Structure 1
Amino acid sequence: MGLILNPGNDNSFIKLVKVKDTRVFVDKTDLIEKTNALCNTDENLVAITRPRRFGKTVTAHMLSAYYSKGYAGQDIFNKLNIAGKDSFTDHLNKYNVIYIDMNTIDGLFDGYANKKQKADGVNDLVDYIEYSIIKELKSNDDFSECLKNHQIENTGLLETLLAITQDLNTKFVFIMDEWDLVYREYRNDEILQRKFIKLLKNLFKADGGQDCFILAYLTGILPIKKYNSQSALNDFDEYNMLAPGEYAPYFGFTDNEVIDIVKSPNCKVSHDDLKEWYEGYKIKGVDIYNPNSVRKAVTRNECISYWSKTSSNEEVVRLINMDFDGIKKDIMDLIEGARVQFDCSNFQNDMVTIEDKNDVFSLLVCLGYLGCSDIAGDEDLKQAYVPNKEIRRALMGLIKKQEWYERMETIKRSEKLLKAIQELDGTTVATLIQDIHNSPAVALLDYNDEESLTYCVMTGLLWSTLGKYTSHREEQTGKGKADLVYEPAIKGTAPLILIEFKYDYSPEEAIAQIKTKEYFKRYAGQYNNIILVGINYSTKTKDHQCLIETLIK
């Protein structure tokens, strides 16, 4: 057992299995049945890329624990879903696995580069990858004699693997986690990138290369790099956020899996809250939740934005500030609920070759900051959207730090709307809501009920209330449920706002309902200043009316 060849350590998957009865654990081992079906076929090269914290590493560790001779998989998997499948024992711990964690290798190379004595020919990260794999192969008892007989000294990795495969009639499973690290961390080093791709092409496209592997599995964030509009590793079947294919249920939690999670007596957060905060990645008809965020929310009993603490915020800011074709405005519209069409056909799958808004949206989808849906009839056309509350909060937090933020008309309108409510200016509120109703985020809605009206007002107040208020819909208060409540994040800093909506009635009737059903009772002892807002939409005039009062005790 080694770091690369047949690792046998307690990896992230095994650690999860050990605590599966006391911690959040979702069994994704059915994926193994799918990879087993690919072994020793002409479809045995697979690349699956997903955003950070979507279970890529734990899944790669699962495959390593299943295929590698370094593990006792019967003990690990015997109570998991895969144990009930016909193919379970066919490939269980029968192969030599070459497992490359690019983050670990990159860190080790940093240390190696500082050494005074280095191996001949090891000058960069790609050289170090080859050197490290060959070193472990030579030190393995099963291969050392074979490689001595072939006098393997300064030959490359492919020649080393071919010697083992041909003489010992054995094949390898190749797993590389974070394959795209070279394109993210060395984004401006094109020489290193091309050298890295050449190494992989030699392994999987050169004569005899594929014969060395029963299965190859790559994970990462970015899709496989394109050169001249062609994938650099076009022998791989690739599944990414722009073209996810059939592997959607195995990365992220599905809705049914989250429903099972909240059934635990230890879970204090609701299914609806988890759905609002962390779902929204609709991949091939499957609703996917961010698994890392769900685990943290359930463990901490709190739904907040965990994404902003793990993702490439600086990269997102850079992309937005390029402002191709008014992308700043587009991002703000997306945050408010709009959808924006883009074309991913020319995206080069890197973080440098960004030439227009289409490339920006494509990259943001791959990074997980946007979801995307297909447009019928054209596989390259997509619709971008903000998937959930967590991402919306993260994006809003980034945008509010930009120097151009307060100059945006959307921000000015939101601040003006909150100010008008606090100043009891119903006429201005009605005028602004009319304007918001016609905005890109709202205009596409079927504006025919109180639900649409509620969404319109929440969209308008989105920016001005961030960090100042928390909003509650259908809040149980007094003798019924208030349509919308804005509660100050810190009591005493602002008035409480109670909003009631009507459709083809009047704002006076909305105010009367607040009073009659005593929606304010729940808050009367906590707030000295409570504002009552009644809003009506008339289908006859297509106008909004608004009446605002302060509660008189």
Structure 2
Amino acid sequence: MGVYLDSKTGYTLYKNETEKPYFVDKSRLLAELFPLVEEGSSYICITRPRRFGKTVMANMLTAFFSRACQSDDIFHKLQISEMEGYHQHRNQYAVIHISFNDVVGECSSYSQYINRIEKRLIRDLKRAYPEVALEEEEYVVDVLTDIYEENENAKFIFVLDEWDYIFHQDFATEADKKKYLTFLRSLLKDRPYVRLAYMTGILPIAKYSSGSELNMFAEYTMAGEERFSEYFGFTEREVDQLFTRYQQNCKFTQKVTREGLRTWYDGYHTQAGERLYNPRSVVMSLSNNNLGNYWTSSGPYDEIYYYIENNVDEVRDDLARMAAGESVPAKIREYAATSQNLQTKEEIFSAMVVYGFLSYDKGKVSVPNKELMDKFTDMLQKEPSLGYVYRLAKESGRMLKATLENDTDTMCEILEKAHNTEIPLLNYNNETDLTAVINLVYLAARDMYRVEREDKAGIGYVDFIFYPEIDKSSDAIILELKIDHTPEEAIAQIKEKQYALKFQGKLGETSRYTGRILAVGIGYDKKTKKHRCKIEVLSEQKIKCC
């Protein structure tokens, strides 16, 4: 048994995964790989945002195909056991499984990083094939070639996880990254000992003007290819099943709702348009009995700002629109792994889609869910380089306070102040831009409320509903926007469409919300360039207008 060749690590880790309470069986992926294994010399690269189950699937492949163990105890109860080829392929192959993010101690150079991988793999190969005369200080590709020349049956399945790890490391120079691509090409391309190369990571394979260093790989990205989509991320049906399991297993007061899972973790799309949930966040939420942000352990917004800092001006307006829940048009291209200097809006949004900070569907990008929206909200309120977006967001605490206190004078003052700064969005060419500005001036409300855009309510769709989340006895807010219409007309629509029904419980149930319901109408007159605001407490009929 070795560290990379014929290792039992994948078996152990995947078995542990299958024994967890919120395990999802995606073993049918194996059946799609059977023909590729039989054909030989097959190469696939599947890229997904982080925390989308790539490592779990890599461990599954190793556990199933590797000759180092007998894994029927795992797979006999999974879907793959019922499919053709199960017995033919299970535990029949020499598997080389390398996790490229496995770095021990301080790694200060690329040569130190790659030499450790080569030495450990060569050691495994010498132990497994002692009958082959091998020279000292050989390259791993030479060792593999010598073994194949002595034994033409010595063909390997390569499972390469986190292939792009090196592209995120400070110690790797641009020259080092090219060396690494050359290393992979030399190891895998046109080598008779490759039965299957299965590679995963976040970044699609780097593109060069003269072609690709690794052009033998068929690439499968979430936005670009439909195949394999169902095996990475959780579908609606799978989350339904997990939630039922949670309801049966949770021994404490259940704090997670099905709608909460959708709000927090849904929002990604396959190339065919099927919706996907972030799997790690769903599992963590159900395991912890808590709807929370499991995206990252780093700062609240520093990762997002990294992508936009080189060209804040070009993306600022679109960020404001996306923070309001809108989708914006974007050209998403194949993102080059070697390009870290993001300058154009196209490059910035493409990178953010690849890393999972934005979702891409039908030519538009958007913030996928509350988990990511919270990070965007933090950035908009804390990063001065965002200019007018930051200044409006900083006023949001005062705007919320004025609304709750029925102080429409202050509300109008804040909106007029914003408009007088000649902010591009405040040209109000359409209601979308007004919506984005209103979202910015109420950004602080997200600390206390679940804010929904265009939510189905009563017998229509309302612009904004603010659901009290921290204190259910707090005032709820229904907000309707109008251009070239009065705030009185906005209030009338709220009443006519019965939007307040959204706060009532289901038939026979008591509403979770016990505070007042405030109807807020905001109107903008294009001719006079003036805002008017009106607040009415629906239950008490209190009216104030500016």
**Bigger mean CA offset, 305-314 vs 251-260:** 305-314
Match of 1:3 in 2: 3
- Report the counterpart of residue 165 of structure 2 in structure 1: 181
Q: 8 Å contact 1:406–1:412 — kept in the other structure?
A: no
CA drift of 1:323 comes to: 2.3
Pairing of 1:7-46 with structure 2 (within 5 A):
7-9=7-9, 10-19=11-20, 23-41=21-39, 44-46=42-44
For each residue in 1:272-300, what CA deviation from the matched residue of structure 2 results, as whole angstroms up to 9, or x when unmatched?
22111111111122211000000011112
Q: CA deviation at 1:405?
A: 5.5
Amino acid at match of 1:466: R
Counterpart of 1:116?
none
**Does the CA contact (< 8 Å) of 1:179 and 1:220 recur in 2?**
yes
| Counterpart in the other structure of 1:253 | 234
* 3-state DSSP of counterpart to 1:54: coil
2:126 maps to 1:145:
no
Question: Per the alignment, do residues 338 and 2 of structure 1 end up closer, same or farther by CA in structure 2, a change over 3 Å counting?
Answer: same
Larger deviation, residues 463-472 vs 505-514: 505-514
Identify if the C-alpha distance between structure 1 residues 400 and 2 changes in structure 2 by more than 3 Å, giving closer, same or farther: farther
Q: Note the C-alpha offset of 1:110.
A: 3.8
**Residues 1:312 and 1:93: Cα distance change in structure 2 (over 3 Å):** farther
Does structure 2 conserve the Cα–Cα contact (< 8 Å) formed by 1:4 and 1:100?
A: yes
Could you tell me whether the CA contact under 8 Å between 2:49 and 2:354 is conserved in 1?
A: yes
2:439 matched residue in structure 1:
459
Superposed, which structure 2 residues align to 1:115-514 within 5 Å?
123-140=111-128, 143-146=129-132, 148=133, 151-168=134-151, 169-186=153-170, 188-206=172-190, 209=191, 211-228=192-209, 230-264=211-245, 265-266=248-249, 268=254, 269-284=256-271, 285-309=273-297, 314-345=302-333, 347-350=335-338, 352-375=340-363, 383-404=364-385, 407-408=388-389, 410-411=392-393, 414-415=396-397, 417-426=399-408, 443=430, 459=439, 462-471=442-451, 484-487=465-468, 489=470, 496-499=475-478, 507=491
- Secondary structure of the 1:548 match is strand
Q: Distance in 2 between matches of 1:91 and 1:203?
A: 24
**Preserved contact between residue 417 and residue 460 of structure 1 (Cα < 8 Å):** no
CA contact (8 A) 2:392 2:441 kept: no
Tell me, in whole angstroms, the C-alpha distance in 2 between the residues paired with 1:214 and 1:311.
43
Residues 441 and 509 (structure 1 numbering): CA distance in 2 closer, same or farther, change over 3 Å?
closer
How far did 1:508 drift?
Answer: 6.7
TM superposition shift of 1:394? 2.0
TM-score using structure 2 length: 0.79
Cα contact 1:514–1:532 (8 A) shared by 2: no
Q: Secondary structure at the match of 1:175?
A: strand
Whole-angstrom distance in 1 between the partners of 2:306 and 2:178:
25
Conserved 8 A contact 2:520-2:535? yes
Distance (Å, rounded) in 2 between the aligned partners of 1:487 and 1:203: 57
**Deviates most, 170-179 or 460-469:** 460-469
**1:339–1:384 CA contact under 8 A, matched in 2:** yes
2:402·2:408 contact (CA, 8 Å) conserved in 1? yes
Contact preservation (8 Å) 2:478, 2:500 = no
- Which segment drifts farther, 347-356 or 50-59? 347-356
Partner residue, 1:74: 72
Letter in 1 for 2:475: L
Given the superposition, is the C-alpha separation of residues 508 and 134 from structure 1 closer, same or farther in structure 2, using an over 3 Å criterion? closer
Following TM superposition, by how much is the alpha carbon of 1:48 offset from its aligned partner in structure 2, in angstroms?
0.9
SS at 2:309's partner residue? Answer: helix
Q: Which amino acid aligns with 2:179?
A: K
Q: AA paired with 1:167?
A: E
Deviation at 1:7, TM superposition (A): 1.0
Corresponding residue of 1:379: none
Pair 1:506–1:203, CA change in 2 (3 A): closer
**Matches of 2:481 and 2:209 in 1, distance apart?**
57
Q: Distance in 2 between matches of 1:75 and 1:514?
A: 54
- 1:227 & 1:518 partners in 2: Cα distance? 55
Give the 3-state SS of the residue equivalent to 2:138 in structure 1: coil
How far did residue 402 of structure 1 move?
Answer: 1.9
The 3 A distance-change label for structure 1 pair 191 and 39 is: same
Larger deviation: 193-202 or 504-513? 504-513
Letter in 1 for 2:224: A
Q: What's the CA shift for 1:421?
A: 1.5
Kindly indicate whether the alpha-carbon contact (under 8 Å) linking 1:346 and 1:359 is maintained by their aligned counterparts in 2: no
Counterparts of 1:429 and 1:30, CA distance in 2:
56
* Equivalence for 2:461: none
Aligned to 1:117: none
Q: Which amino acid aligns with 1:156?
A: Y
Distance in 1 between residues matched to 2:502 and 2:303, nearest whole Å? 50
> 1:544, CA displacement in angstroms?
8.0
Task: Say whether the 8 Å CA contact 1:334–1:441 is kept in structure 2.
Answer: no
In structure 2, the CA distance between the partners of 1:170 and 1:418, relative to structure 1 (3 Å rule), is same
Equivalent residues in 2 for 1:57-136, closer than 5 Å: 57-104=55-102, 106-107=103-104, 110=107, 123-136=111-124
Moved more, 503-512 or 89-98: 503-512
Tell me which moved more, 158-167 or 226-235.
Answer: 226-235
Provide the aligned length of Structure 1 versus Structure 2: 507
Alignment gaps of 5+ in structure 2: 458-463, 483-487
Instruction: Report the alpha carbon displacement of residue 515 of structure 1 after superposing the two structures with TM.
Output: 11
Change (3 A) 1:196 1:488: closer
Q: How far is the alpha carbon of 1:33 from its aligned partner?
A: 0.6
1:226 counterpart SS class: coil
C-alpha change, 1:108 and 1:427, in structure 2 (3 Å) is closer
Distance 1:330 1:505, change over 3 A: closer
Instruction: Name the amino acid aligned to 1:283.
Output: T
Counterpart position of 1:56: 54
- Root-mean-square deviation (CA, aligned residues, Å) is 4.4
Q: Residues of 2 paired with 1:134 and 1:212: CA distance?
A: 15
Structure 1 residues 4, 439: CA separation in 2 closer, same or farther (over 3 Å shift)?
farther
